[in-house]
Amino acid sequence: MVSLASPRVVAGSLGFAGGVMLYVVFTEIFSRKAFESFLEAGSSRAGAYRLATACFFGGILMTALLDACVHAIMHWAARHQHHRVAAHAASQAALVAAAAPQQQPAAAGEVALSMVDSSSRGRQLAARDASMAGCSGGGSEKDLESGEGSGDSRDSSSNSRKPIMVTRGQGSGRSARWVNAGVGEAACDIAPGTVASAEVVAVLQDDPHTRDMLRMGIFTGLAIALHNIPEGLATFVGALNNTKVGASIAAAIAIHNVPEGICVGMPIYYATGSKWKGFLWGSLTGMAEPVGGLLGYVVLHEQDPLSFGIVFGIVAGMMVYVSVKELLPSAFRFDPKDSVVSTSVLVGMGVMAVSLVLFTLLNGNVGRQTWEWDPEAGTPEERARVEELRAQFTKNRLTQKSSADELLRMQCEGRRRLGPFTVPADGASGSSAPRADTVAVALRNGMSFYEGLQADDGHWPGDYGGPMFLMPGMVIALHTTEHLEKVLSPQHRAEMVRYLHNHQNADGGYGLHIEGTSTMFGTALSYVTLRLLGVGPDAAGMAEAREWMHSRGGAHHITSWGKFWLAVLGVYSWDGLNPMPPEMWLLPYSGWTGIGWAHPGRFWCHCRMVYLPMSYAYGRRATAPPSPLTEALRQELYPLPYGQINWNKARNACAKEDLYYPHPLIQDVLWWTLYQAEPLLLGSRLRNRALKECMKHIHYEDENTRYVDIGPVNKVLNMLCCWLEDPDSEAFKRHLPRLFDYLWVAEDGMKMQGYNGSQLWDTAFAVQAIAATGRLAKEFSSCLRNAHDYIEKSQVVEEAQQPLSEYYRHISKGAWPFSSRDHGWPISDCSSEGLKAALTLAQMDSKLVGPPIPTARLEDCVNVILSYQNSDGGWATYENKRSFEILETINPSETFGEIVVDYNHVECSTACITALTAFRRRHPEHRSAEISTSLKRGLKYLKSIQRKDGSWYGNWGVCFTYATWFGCEALAAMDEGVANSVCARSAAAFLLGKQRADGGWGESYLSCQDKVYSQLPGDKSHAVNTAWALLALLAAGYHEVDRKPLDAAARCLIRLQEAGGDWPQQHISGVFNRNCMITYANYRNIFPIWALGEYRSKVLGQK
């Protein structure tokens, strides 16, 4: 049975498809890809525009010529068919005339036909076949184009519409079927719901005239197949430009192909009586489109920008021709009064525009956190309080260096739904165990306060600052691109100045991070940033900073990253840098080559994503335009005249305060060799090829992270490179608004964060913490529902752009990122914590917390987690370990440790183990053997890295306390505790040996850099360290041996809690790369709640 949609639906679909294609051409393919490809190939802007325009009209001409060929073929076939049918009809007419006297009426129950004579019928069918062949692009037959046989003809001649009515049987069983056999009417003009009965088909097959329809259908199919090749090319190029665009073009062409398929299939169906043959031939015509795609692949396989420009321009013209000459005319043929076509075209454009916007923002900005200046915000009293908080921080800045995120807390006042609750003063006094009611009230107080900080989209925003070298890079890049004042308002710049003044050390210098001792890296970059932000050389603190630098030899003793930024600014010579040759991206990747093991694609992703744009800028010697300010800085930064600095010697000069990772001899030999070769590479064809390769990877990173990028350093570096490539490029413009994703404001000023936030990480922990409070969590079900929504929307549900291997990317589908879906980089421990949070919520009442995430998506996450495991059983961060640890000998940073290879970590390994065990409990049937093997290998690895004193070293938190909590959680997940495990007993003994007199723990960040446990000064414990230790002892089951140490820890946490339910911001608690600390503002709420919730359940027996 053949049934077609209504003409209005078909017309609207074709108009919609035309709108999609036209919008894509003029906003993406022609204006961006063709034009930018010619620019990349070396053309000037005017030349690129001329070339793109020439290729555009060339594409139109090529398609018009192809269309003319197709119509010529179809016209010849139609004429040949017409002559054959006319000759046969004449002979049949003579036979009919001779037999007329002997004709008998049909017997009852036999088929009777009411129709015109055979010759008329032959003319109708032949004309109809001809119109079928041209139904999608205007008639191909000359007389049809002139209107002689068009659907507008209403005369009663033999060309008029003639129905064939078939009756079957008699009486009430009689049925009628109508087949439009009007001359000149296209097959796609059959009325909706029309059915060709078997009787009609049989009659048509018995007539010799109709057998030629088979040949007509085949000719039509061949012509349309030829016509489909440029459409396949258009789809390939669109997908190459943007997968979303490619999908839209494919959908548009699919709509357009429906009537084309009918044109081929219907005559074959009527000629053969076989629906499958009609369907098969109609489908085969579409197979020409992959041929067009293959043609595009062959032409563009070498990634040559000139070829890209030519093909993009030609395809743009082809797409416009197809839209204007085929899609829209076909649409108006179905809707001559234009009741839907024009509107559909505009709707198609609008939908395409929205889809492209959504492609840049995958989940509607969920998780994005930015600050805006509003001069009218708040009451006079609130504004006065803000100033009071700022003044208080400045007063205590040398003793309390971490901000308390007070501005966020002020902004959230009034959002609290419950509380505050008064915690009984005697419930946690003395040395006795805390009372159950006291713990419950403290938990309700803490959770109700923390619920008030939750954002509307379900995540918890918070300060993720700390490093002092991040904001200077952004300011230098904006100054270099001449966008500093365009992007940063006076208020932004004022708050940045406040931040830098607040974090200047007493000796006049600045640290690597806010709590660190002074370094040349921190001091020189902070000084330069203040000057670029408008602070004069004689302002408060500036002379002291200069003195600090000069007394240590001057700014040329800064680390390599600092040298790079000063060179970009133009206040340091590029000759004073150790080489960062972009040619390293052209090395073979394969390990069998030997050198492939040192390919940057094997580096830890943060390392390669920083050195990728650095090598591009180095290869181009990118330098800001000279100005009076840069000339002044050349005098201020150095204790000797700028012209007298020995730049070759300065390459390896590094202040002792900065030298955390000294260069080994082999590295110095390597840099000297490359330094000698650099004059030969600079400006060479090899260098130009390498620069193009770098930009290919930079654009890939930008597009796959919606211009957020993996971190703040490569974010501003990529932005700078896009500007260097083309100051007016769309890529550079898209970078600018995403800078604000990294900026955070607190009472200490505006800082640049170490990521675009820690949204998913904090939210996943918060869910587990609140759920650990048992029945108390039901009071906060709306909070959990919102968090559940954020976790669901933040999961990565599709892979990055293919091919992943070409861009050295790991699989992503099913993972969770650290921050937001727009960021999208998958991480092993974030995926694991996201999975555990999803599983925790799935066990709760869906009426309270929302429906669970589908199991298939959780299985995708398990797949990612399993794929992360390395051969030794451990898990690293973003990817597998791709090379050998000996590569660390070429770590050129001086400041950071263990950055070249993606190392295994106890935190990542534990998160993966605990996630897999949690998943296995709920879904024991899924990959059970594989998961069991993975868990055994993982536990073996964790035991192998436990230190002799029972601790584990923390890579992402401070430090031994944090890592030992993770280690104990992994042991517990595998049913090991103090009762049956030497490892668990050893870990518990280590922690108990560090417990302080007030029952808590307090570990300094110095543990991270020195790799030896260091106590915080003073006698007051740290709430976060205490919570980690308590969670570790509970996981190990130590409360079953001796609960007193745990009672003391719980008392400590309750006493540290503030009256409103918050906990105080104390010393910094996060770390990365051994030596740089970072703030996790939400930890002070999450982990005390979690620890007290577990204590209440396991020790006090309260569910």
**How far, rounded to the nearest angstrom, does the alpha carbon of residue 184 sit from its chain's CA centroid?**
52
Element (H, E) at 836: helix 828-842
Residue 382 CA to residue 365 CA, distance in Å, equals 29
Cα-Cα end-to-end distance for the chain: 64
Arithmetic mean of pLDDT, 679-699: 96
- Position with higher pLDDT, 1052 vs 165: 1052
Residue of 457, 514, 442, 515 lying closest to 1085 (CA atoms): 442
Residue 359 CA to residue 242 CA, distance in Å, equals 9
Count other Cβ atoms within 10 Å, centred on residue 1101: 8
Is 829 one of the annotated active-site residues of the chain? yes
Q: How confident is the model at residue 255 (pLDDT cuts 50, 70, 90)?
A: low
The order of strands in the sheet holding 163-167 is: 112-114, 163-167, 176-180
**pLDDT computed for residue 687 by the predictor:** 97
**How far, rounded to the nearest angstrom, does the alpha carbon of residue 19 sit from its chain's CA centroid?**
27
Which range of 60-69, 262-271, 591-600, 834-843 scores highest in mean pLDDT? It is 834-843
Give the amino acid at 803.
Answer: P
On whether the CB atoms of residues 390 and 406 are closer than 8 A, the answer is: no
On whether the CB atoms of residues 553 and 653 are closer than 8 A, the answer is: yes
Q: Is 598 exposed, middle or buried (0-12, 13-18, 19+ CB in 10 A)?
A: middle
Residue 478 CA to residue 777 CA, distance in Å, equals 47
Residue of 723, 762, 608, 714 lying closest to 1079 (CA atoms): 762
- CATH no. of 432-459+757-1098: 1.50.10.20
- Position with higher pLDDT, 869 vs 121: 869
> Is the dihedral angle over the CA atoms 226, 228, 232, 237 positive or is it negative?
positive
Arithmetic mean of pLDDT, 269-275: 66
Element (H, E) at 83: helix 45-99
- Position with higher pLDDT, 252 vs 610: 610
Mean residue pLDDT of the chain comes to 85
Instruction: With a cut of 70, say whether residue 861 has pLDDT above it.
Output: yes
Q: How confident is the model at residue 924 (pLDDT cuts 50, 70, 90)?
A: very high
**pLDDT computed for residue 348 by the predictor:** 82
Count other Cβ atoms within 10 Å, centred on residue 666: 11
Q: Is 418 exposed, middle or buried (0-12, 13-18, 19+ CB in 10 A)?
A: middle
Angle of the 275-286 helix axis to the 288-300 helix axis, nearest 10: 20
Q: Which residue among the candidates 143, 457, 748, 829 is catalytic per the annotation? A: 829
Angle CA(324)–CA(307)–CA(234) in degrees, nearest 5? 30
Q: How many helices and strands in the chain, by DSSP H and E?
A: 42, 9
Residue pLDDT, tens place only, 145-156: 333 333 343 343
**pLDDT computed for residue 303 by the predictor:** 55
Arithmetic mean of pLDDT, 419-447: 94
Give the CB-side neighbour count of residue 104, counting CA atoms within 13 A.
4
Instruction: With a cut of 90, say whether residue 194 has pLDDT above it.
Output: no
Give the chain's length: 1103
On whether the CB atoms of residues 946 and 897 are closer than 8 A, the answer is: no
Tokens of 208: 């010799």
CATH 1.10.510.10, applies to 470-743: no
Instruction: With a cut of 60, say whether residue 711 has pLDDT above it.
Output: yes
**pLDDT computed for residue 285 by the predictor:** 62
Share of the chain above pLDDT 70, in %: 79
If you write DSSP's letter for every residue of 202-261 in order, what string do you get? HHHHHSHHHHHHHHHHHHHHHHHHHHHHHHHHHHHHHHHH-HHHHHHHHHHHHHHHHHHH
Residue pLDDT, tens place only, 291-310: 777 776 666 555 567 877 88
Residue pLDDT, tens place only, 808-838: 999 999 999 999 999 999 999 999 999 999 9
Residue 415 CA to residue 408 CA, distance in Å, equals 12
**How far, rounded to the nearest angstrom, does the alpha carbon of residue 71 sit from its chain's CA centroid?**
45
Share of the chain above pLDDT 90, in %: 66
How far is residue 554 from each of residues 523, 633, 639, 646, 657, measured CA to CA in Å?
Answer: 11, 12, 6, 12, 13
If you write DSSP's letter for every residue of 271-302 in order, what string do you get? HH--HHHHHHHHHHHHTHHHHHHHHHHHHHTT
Residue pLDDT, tens place only, 404-431: 999 999 999 999 999 999 999 888 888 8
Listed in order, the ranges of the chain carrying CATH 1.50.10.20 are: 432-459+757-1098, 470-743
Upstream peptide bond of 803 is cis (omega within 30 degrees of 0): yes
If you write DSSP's letter for every residue of 372-396 in order, what string do you get? ---TT-S-HHHHHHHHHHHHHHHHT
**pLDDT computed for residue 86 by the predictor:** 67
Arithmetic mean of pLDDT, 105-119: 36
Q: Is 98 exposed, middle or buried (0-12, 13-18, 19+ CB in 10 A)?
A: exposed
Give the amino acid at 292.
Answer: G
Residue 18 CA to residue 323 CA, distance in Å, equals 5
Residue of 765, 707, 792 lying closest to 741 (CA atoms): 707
Long-range contact pairs involving 410-415 (C-beta distance under 8 Å, separation at least 24): 410/382, 410/385, 410/386, 412/452, 412/453, 413/452, 415/452, 415/453, 415/454
According to DSSP, the β-strands at 510-511 and 1070-1072 are: unpaired
Residue 810 CA to residue 823 CA, distance in Å, equals 15
**pLDDT computed for residue 828 by the predictor:** 98
**pLDDT computed for residue 64 by the predictor:** 86
Instruction: With a cut of 70, say whether residue 260 has pLDDT above it.
Output: no
pTM above 0.85, yes or no: no
